[in-house]
Structure 1
Amino acid sequence: MITPRSNSRAASGPRSQKARIAAVLAGAVAALALTGCAGWEYRENICGGGEYPVLAVGSTGSACVSDEEEPSAGYVRYPEGKVPREVGDKWDVYWETHTLDENGKTVDVP
């Protein structure tokens, strides 16, 4: 025989659960709006997977080379520890105003 449930459980039924989910979602939306989506910043890699960045000698030009190849004539690897990894990172910005001369010395862009 099936016994009817008491009304005291009705408050924790589907409507109440939907109300809680709606409240949680509203809170999440409010938190995102107040923080400006902090921490959700998109960062673009300088090169794709299987590649590394190289610098054009005497200018701020750059390119990406396969991990299995050496740089073409006129390009060199960035100095160790000064390799840009993401667009706008510390070294990407640095190499906008600096380059390497034909002797491998770091110089200001002429």
Structure 2
Amino acid sequence: MQKSSRVRRRPSKSLLGLALAGATATMLLSACSFSMQDAQCSGGEYPVLAVNGSGGACVEDGQEPPKGYARYPEGKVPEYVDDKWDKYWNTHTLDENGKIITIPEGQ
């Protein structure tokens, strides 16, 4: 009976480096699939916009908007900074009657 002449080898450093690089790339790519957008308001708050002007604020859930502010129209509420509705409301607002108007230049 002959002994096996097979020798156990340790993986080379380049193979370990390649495996580590692959694992790192996988983690980074999967992290990019999560939303990293900034919310308009913190939890327990909702966004409101300035009437007849630009700007907005966040109000505690269950509270009414302060004087000079209004709730966004249903279905047109921005959720994240630079989302579709946030960009829209940078150039539009509500007048004192709740009608959507374009913000005059310079405001």
| TM-score, normalised via structure 2 length | 0.75
In the alignment, is residue 46 of structure 1 matched against residue 61 of structure 2?
no
Distance 1:90 1:21 in 2: 45
Aligned to 2:8, the other structure's residue is in SS state helix
2:81 is matched with which residue?
Answer: 87
Gaps of 5+ in 2: none
Distance 1:56 1:107 in 2: 12
Q: Please list the CA deviations of residues 26-66 of structure 1 after superposition, one character each: whole Å capped at 9, or x if unmatched.
A: 23556799x8x854663111100000000110011100000
Name the one with the larger helix percent: 1
The alignment yields a C-alpha RMSD, in angstroms, of 3.1
Gaps of 5+ in 1: 1-5
Aligned residues: 100
Aligned to 1:16, the other structure's residue is in SS state coil
1:65 is matched with which residue?
Answer: 59
In the alignment, is residue 55 of structure 1 matched against residue 53 of structure 2?
no
| TM-score, normalised via structure 1 length | 0.73
Identity of aligned residues (%): 52
